[in-house]
Structure 1
Amino acid sequence: MLLWLSCRGNHHSPAKLPFFLSISAYDYNCHVDLIKLLRQEGELEKLQSARQKMSELFPLTEELWLDWLKDEIRMAEEPHDREKIYELFERAIKDYICPEIWLEYAQYSIGGIGLQGGIERARGIFDRALTAVGLHMTKGLAIWEAFREFENAILGTLQPLPGTILTSEQQEMMKTQLDRVHALFKRQLTIPLLDMESTYAEYEAWADEVPNESVIQLYKKALEQMEKRKPFEEALLVADPPKLAEFQTYIDFEMKAGDPARIQITFERALSENCLVPDLWARYTQYLDRQLKIKDLVLSTHERAVRNCPWIVGLWNRYLLAQERHQAEHKVITDTFEKALNAGFIQATDYVELWQAFLDYLRRRVNFSQDSSKELEELRSAYSRGVDYLKQDIEQRFSESGDPSCTILQNWARVEARLCKNMQKARELWDRIMSKGNAKYANMWLEYFNLERAHGDPQHCRKALHRAVQCTTDYPEHVCEVLLTFERVEGSLEDWDLAVEKTESRLNQVNEWRAKAAEKEALLTKQEEEKNMQRRKAKSEKKAAKKAQKQAVPGEKRKADKEDWEAKLDKPNKKPRHGEQEETEEVLSAECGLFGRESNIKTVETPAQQKQKAVAATRNKVLHDNSKDDLTVFVSNLAYSMPSPEERMKEIFESFGQIIDIRPVYSNRGHFRGYCYVEFKEKAAAANALTVDRRELEGRPMFVSPCVDKAKNPEFKVFKYSTSLEKHKIFISGLPFSCTREDLEEICKEHGNLKEIRLVTNRSGKPKGLAYVEFENETQASQAVLKLDGTVVKDHTIRVAISNPPQRKQATNVEAGRALGSLLPRQLYGARGKGRTQLSLVPRALQRLPASGTNTENGTVSSQDGNSKGDSSLAAETKKMTNADFAKMLLKK
């Protein structure tokens, strides 16, 4: 299906169409172009075959169906051909709800009224058409009018000839037909359609009387409904295709109105132009599942959803659930699952979701009160097949398992332990899980321990915890605590002594590893800082030499200084690095001497420059005296639009002590640059003022830091939060931007006593979806990580880890982390995982398996003797092949 999407923009020459279709049957445009070509050349048999093949792979558009139906109608000669056309119409109306196809179907059925039962058949098709598209605001009118003309035509055949007296039977038939036409008019007038007024006038003229009061009331009500929907119809009329946003707004309106029929027709109209939007199908099927619950409608819509978007695993899972909910046959559900396996999902995890949904269905079929049954054996066989399928097929296709935590094996073990009472089988399955690289994770051992605790015996619980203490590398403290807690309740004195000995030995070993890792980390950091110092020193020397060269020419000195200073002030606010002060603050602190000292070199100023200097003299004051660093704080990240920075800063800082001076920073044009110095009379006041650092001011955090020249004190760091490992603090990512401090407190408080919660924002004060939560001790933080990691908060899956921000610009740290391997906690050497692009751009039809004599590994081709062919050898072989050779290879000639 990915190939279908990627090829819709491709066009092929007519002569090559069969060749391309022989390579890939999922090239949508190839099918369309081939059908057009065969229709032009009049190749009727080949045309029928091409249309049939395409309809089996894809739902056809309205235009393709109408062309096919009209061609078949023209070619129909024998009476039995009519039935084939009826079958073709039935297939056409299942792909999309199209008024034009229904109208064509109904009109075609009129041609068969001369046959036995033809009138009733045509009437039934018209009734179905009204149910399907009669509520269509703009196109439904044509169906109603065609139906009334059909019934009026039948009424005309029942009219008596002049001078003829009708029998009682004829009179009854006449009355019945009149009632049918009256009923059609009344039904139509109760439905909001465009141009309703004309229909009402036509009814008055036809009936030759004023409609009764009930019909008038229903008509007025429908007219009001039509007026409410007219703005939505007008928006659709002027919008460009595919009009998704307009349809979404229309659907929201109908959902609030609550009329199921109108909701259904609006969804159908939207899907006819947005058939490749999975979210729209998901919303429609969810509405049908929860509200209408009509079996035929629900299942047919689910089937259409997966035909249009087969690459979306969520649609297949909902389809399986709907079939089970409506008690479809077991074979039907199994066939649907097999089709889903061949749908071509775009990532490995999709196959895991599909297998889980199918295995859940099989588990619900089993009666576990019996020791053995056909359904139980089928469930076990499916579990085994699913595990093998993910290991062989999926790992080979995506180069990853898609199920690293072995969720399918875990569920299988739980079923065996809890439902089948077969702990021996469950233990074997957990051994397989641990052998797949999961033995180093504490949460995996605790899952196994909880299973043994609930369905096993104390001896196996103790054995599992002892193994966990020896193997766990991410949270060994937590595992040790669980073992000691278990022995307090279950163990003897010998068991307790052994547990204490093992935990102490393990924790000492872990601490040694961490100390070595920290030493190596510190050494690498120091080396990198020394390199940075050398680079800064060289840059400073180069800059000093350049200035000295410029000062040699008196007339250019002032111009050069002015350009340098303006360039620095005109830099946009730069986001400070993690654990570092803003770069602009460093520049201002280093350059403040430019304003505090007079130049020894006399320069000649023009009258215009003197006037400009006089105007700006009130703002271009001396920024800072380095001798008053301990009395001054530097305030940054303020809004440029702040009208009176001096007064605003005075309001904030006057409560800390007497203020001597407030010096905002302005550009040469007099624009506030978002920075200022606040000088106090006493040192204590300046120190207390630092407590308002990161306070929100006019919607953005205000940074307050001491005045320190970082050029002279490179080791000084102003960042107020720790940038090293903090075992009592957790780091949460993936939070919704609407999450508040109160929401986070509600989530975390049940896992321990909270000391501090900090939501991370950017410089403008907007949330970044990150937070730090500090607990009283390490145990509570570890418990919170195990319980909260992977949970869902407001439709967002969050990730939780122990707080340990990574070092910046430490290129060699990655190599150090790899060298230490599993001896380090995962948080010590980088992020918790890496992103991977899951979308394969290679068409599935070209993803041929290698020949039996070769093996592919990591993008190379290996022969049976293990020798691999690199890219250069493959390229050399490819260059030698001609187009004809390539075609023969694909066609396997």
Structure 2
Amino acid sequence: TKDPWWDPGRGCVMNGKNSAESNMRSYLALSHISFLLHLCVTPQLSINAFDYNCHVDLIKLLKQEGELFRLRKARQKMSELFPLTEEIWLDWLKDEIRLTEEEPNREKVYELFERAVKDYICPDIWLEYAQYSIGGMGSPGGIDRVRSIFERAVTAVGLHMTKGQMVWEAYREFENAILSTMVAETPKLAEYQAYIDFELKEGDPARIQITFERALSENCLVPDMWAKYTIYLDRQLKFKDLVLSTHERAVRNCPWTMGLWKSYLLALERHGADHQTVSDVFEKALNAGFIQATDYVEIWQAYLDYLRRRVDFKSSKELEELRAAFSRSLDYMKHDVEERFGESGDPSCIIMQIWARIEALHCKNMQKARELWDSIMTKGNAKYANMWLEYYNLERSYGDSIHCRKALHRAVQCTSDYPEHVCDVLLSFERVEGSLEDWDFAVQKTETRLNRINEQRAKAAEKEANLARQEDERAEQRRKAKVEKKAQKKVQKGTRAGEKRKAEQDDYQDEWNEDAGEIDCLWTSPQGNEDNPELRNDNSSVFVSNLAYTLEEPEAKLRTLFETCGPIKQIRPIFTGKGSFRGYGYVQFESPVSVPEALKLDRRDVEGRPVFVSPCVDKNKNPDFKVFKYNTMMEKHKIFISGLPFSCTKEQLAEICKNHGTVKEVRLVTYRSGKPKGLAYVEFADETQASQAVLKLDGIEVEGNKISVAISNPPRRNATDKPGSSRPTGDAMPRQVYGARGKGRTQLSMLPRSLHRQSAPAGKVENGSAADGEPASAAGNAAGEPKQLSNSDFAKMLLNM
């Protein structure tokens, strides 16, 4: 301590001599410190571990010496015995932060901060804690952790008089930084919709309104967004000025959307707008240029409903205005709508039906109601049973039994879709109100009508069966001719037996149905020495075909396709003698329960081709074993679309159809090569949605192609005759009459196109029945038999295909 370079208060003091001497003196000074630690402080702590000042001195000396790891132990020991001051904690935390900068684990520092904030209420420690956590916000859950620490900090020290505002300022700056990254680019429509749904659940009107306004300022041409906003205002806020102004903005931004005009008319009526204002808005709607004929029917219905609600049926002024509006709507539908769209927007005459009910119910004017129904029936509705029953119910409610009986007799005579139903209603009516003569006359008339209809159906079914049998025979002849021709060609070239089996396999593939998707056969394996009989007959295997011959690594591709169905035991793709892939193979699973899952992958796209998956069936033992995969009865919840552009995808078609109901499935029909046919089937949630889709989609243009839409009514197909069985004759049960699309190609069993010309065209079919009472199919000639063809004729046809 007497050395000139040592000061007890300041430690080492250099006296200006050379650097070597200074370094030596520094080293000696540090040695003195270490000596003092061992000589003074450490023995004292060993005597009294609760000497607070000794702990503080030891920490100061170790920090001056730079012994960070010993310093950590000293601080740890002191914190176990005493709460540490803010200065000691901050020094410790900063040292630990420096030590863990290169360590991947930040959790040790978080644990130390948690211990620090428990000793005293220290704003600086909380601020340091929050700022340190910001450095880890990039890790999973990092932002949530920062927010949680800031929330705890403002709760603990936010009210501190001198330093609490620092925590608040830091919290605000953090949230501003996060917000700036979130709104750096304009939110998309889907993000706005999710935001709106969130705010609707929270229920704050001010936040909901401003969110809608923000979304609409950037998506002003989205009708669904306007509709959602106006519905919220109509049902929740209900402020007149706000509601009506928003409706007006909606129709100005999206004038082509009928639903917005309809909602606007209802809102005007709901808030007591004057009659002239409502009428002016309706006239603007008529000139808005809707895209569908049915839109004009709906807007007229909305306006007519408004006029009906304001009528006092004891006064003639409003009633005459209502009748004039009904009359004008019919003229508008007949001239303006039909001339513009080429079709009637109201084929079922809904507006006239409403007018008739109003005349019968409110005006007690059955004469006018009957005149309206006569007009409805003359517009092509007399063949529908439901239209006659609607008129009959009106007569039952407001008319008399004489007109009820007359309506039912006309229904029995005219109905062509469900004549049995109207016959039952007539007989039930006569049971309740008719005399014996009335009953006898009704029975005679219904029996005569039903007998005539059954005869027509039987004739149509018989001719259909004959035609199908002729088609099957021609297909068989064509198949045999091709087999013989190919066999002769192979023999002449001296091909091996394996290549001959390939020709037979090609013949089987030619027989497979490539129809629009209504009917599907169980694909069977070809016979050959290279096939494994255990795979063909195993109930744990499936047969896979229609793969591309150029498919690389077919075994790996098949494994990838079927590995989700269950554990695979063996995959066997079939190759030719030259090593080229034949386009089919077998997949054997470890358990039969995997087979149903594998069959669900039928028609799955593999490199642009639909792959065919079927059970393994020995064709020698089951030569005619086929099943229908798809329903062959009328599917009222599905629609059939034809005329689609080949570029149309499932997603595009689903987008077109979703506005008319809930789309459950979309199936595009393709050839075996994967090329589209321009046909599709769309399944809706129920029959009503499918019917609406037919009305609104039939005849519209998709990418320049005018499409045709109808209810799915796949025709049946005669099953191949089994041994010991015979074809059905005219005495058998009548087959299903073709639907509105006529006879589908799915009923042709590989019939060459040339043979289509041998048969007379089928008669016009309407609603599943032949027009004018004729059957829906025609025979090949007057004698009902096709022209017999020779082998040379078949050869010419094959060359022309």
Among 609, 615, 626, the alignment partner of 1:717 is 626
Is 1:708 equivalent to 2:593 in the alignment? no
Partner residue of 1:192?
A: none
Note the C-alpha offset of 1:270: 1.7
- Aligned residue for 1:465, secondary structure, equals helix
Q: 1:406 aligns with which of 340, 343, 349?
A: 349
Pairing 1:499–2:404 present: no
Cα distance in 1 between the residues matched to 2:494 and 2:179: 71
Counterpart of 1:307?
252
Whole-Å separation in 2 of the counterparts to 1:575 and 1:514:
26
Distance 1:426 1:482, change over 3 A: same
User: Match of 1:248?
Assistant: 193
SS at match of 1:238: coil
Shift of residue 267, structure 1, vs aligned partner: 1.6
Correspondent of 1:816 among 762, 771, 776: 762
Which residue pairs with 2:294 in the alignment?
349
1:80-124 CA-to-partner distances (Å, cap 9, x unmatched) read: xxxxxxxxxxxxxxxxxxxxxxxxxxxxxxxxxxxxxxxxxxxxx
Instruction: Describe how 1:234-245 pairs up with structure 2 within 5 A.
Output: 234-238=181-185, 243-245=188-190
Task: Please give the secondary structure, in 2, of the residue aligned with 1:551.
Answer: coil
- How far the C-alpha of 1:502 sits from its partner, in A, is 0.6
**Alignment match, 2:404:** 461
Distance in 1 of aligned mates of 2:774 and 2:305: 35
1:278 aligned to 213, 223, 229, which one? Answer: 223
Q: Does 1:443 align with 2:354?
A: no
Amino acid at match of 1:436: K
Q: Is the 8 A contact 2:221 2:253 kept in 1?
A: yes
Query: Is residue 390 from structure 1 mapped to residue 333 from structure 2 by the alignment?
Result: yes
CA distance in 1, matches of 2:566, 2:216: 59
Question: CA-to-partner distance for each residue in 1:177-226, whole Å, 9 max, x for gaps?
Answer: xxxxxxxxxxxxxxxxxxxxxxxxxxxxxxxxx9999xx99x989x89x9
Which one-letter code corresponds to 2:518 in the other structure?
H
Offset at 1:419? 1.7
Deviation at 1:673, TM superposition (A): 6.8
2:305 aligned with 1:360: yes
Provide the aligned C-alpha RMSD in A: 5.4
- Matched residues in 2 for 1:329 and 1:357: separation? 16
| Cα distance in 2, alignment partners of residues 762 and 212 from structure 1 | 68
The equivalent of 1:732 in structure 2 is 637
Q: Report percent identity of matched pairs.
A: 52
- For residues 18-43 of structure 1, the C-alpha deviation after alignment (integer angstroms, 9 at most, x for no partner) is xxxxxxxxxxxxxxxxxxxxxxxxxx
1:621 pairs with 514, 519, 532, which one? 532
Per-residue deviation at 1:696? Answer: 5.2
1:211-226 to 2 correspondence within 5 Å?
Answer: none
1:550 positional shift: 4.6
Equivalent residue in structure 1 for 2:234, among 270, 289, 298: 289
Q: Which residue identity is paired with 1:255?
A: L
CA deviations over 1:806-860 (Å, ceiling 9, x no partner) = 6541697994141789853999969xxxxxxxxxxxxxxxxxxxxxxxxxxxxxx
- Residues 356 and 372 of structure 2 are in contact (CA less than 8 Å); yes or no, is this contact kept in structure 1? yes
In the superposition, the TM-score normalised over structure 1's length comes to 0.48
- Residues 497-525 of structure 1: CA deviation (Å, up to 9, x unaligned): 11110100000111111122223323433
State the AA in 2 paired with 1:434.
M
Change (3 A) 1:535 1:818: same
Q: 1:709 to 1:469 in 2, by over 3 A?
A: farther
Q: Is the CA contact 1:730–1:772 (under 8 Å) kept in the aligned structure 2?
A: no
CA distance in 2, matches of 1:250, 1:360: 36
Following superposition of structure 1 onto structure 2, how do residues 365-376 of structure 1 map, counting pairs within 5 Å? 365-368=310-313, 370=314, 372-376=315-319
CA change 1:799–1:291 in 2 (3 A) is: farther
Q: Is the 8 A contact 2:518 2:630 kept in 1?
A: no
Distance, in Å, in 1 between the alignment partners of 2:220 and 2:774 is: 44
Q: CA deviation at 1:390?
A: 0.2
Amino acid at match of 2:527: C
Task: Provide the C-alpha distance between the structure 2 equivalents of 1:263 and 1:772, rounded to a whole number of angstroms.
Answer: 32
SS at match of 1:732: strand
Q: Residues 462 and 483 of structure 1 are in contact (CA less than 8 Å); yes or no, is this contact kept in structure 2?
A: yes
- Where does the alignment leave 5 or more consecutive residues of structure 1 unmatched? 1-209, 596-619, 650-661, 679-688, 738-758, 774-784, 831-893
Amino acid in structure 2 at the alignment position of 1:259: D
1:517-532 → structure 2 map (5 Å cutoff) = 517-532=460-475
Report if the CA contact (8 A) 2:244-2:264 is conserved: yes
Q: Is the 8 A contact 1:356 1:408 kept in 2?
A: yes
Aligned equivalents of 2:636, 2:366: Cα separation in 1: 37
Distance 2:631 2:220 in 1: 52
Contact 1:452 1:460 survives alignment (8 Å): yes
Structure 2 match to 1:185? none
Assess if the C-alpha contact under 8 Å between 2:599 and 2:614 holds in 1: no
Higher Rg = 2
What is the aligned length? 507
- C-alpha change, 1:233 and 1:338, in structure 2 (3 Å) is farther
Q: Distance in 1 between matches of 2:250 and 2:627?
A: 57
Shift of residue 379, structure 1, vs aligned partner: 0.6
Note if contact 1:772-1:803 (Cα within 8 Å) is conserved in structure 2: no
Aligned with 2:764: secondary structure? helix
5+ residue gaps, structure 2, are 1-157, 546-557, 603-612, 641-649, 651-663, 669-679, 698-708, 717-737, 778-801
SS of the residue corresponding to residue 762 of structure 2 reads helix
Structure 1 CA distance for aligned equivalents of residues 493 and 177 of structure 2: 73
Q: Distance in 1 between matches of 2:533 and 2:519?
A: 29
Match of 1:578 among 518, 530, 536: 518
Compared CA separation, residues 671 and 268, structure 1 to 2 (3 A): farther
Q: Distance in 2 between matches of 1:770 and 1:517?
A: 30
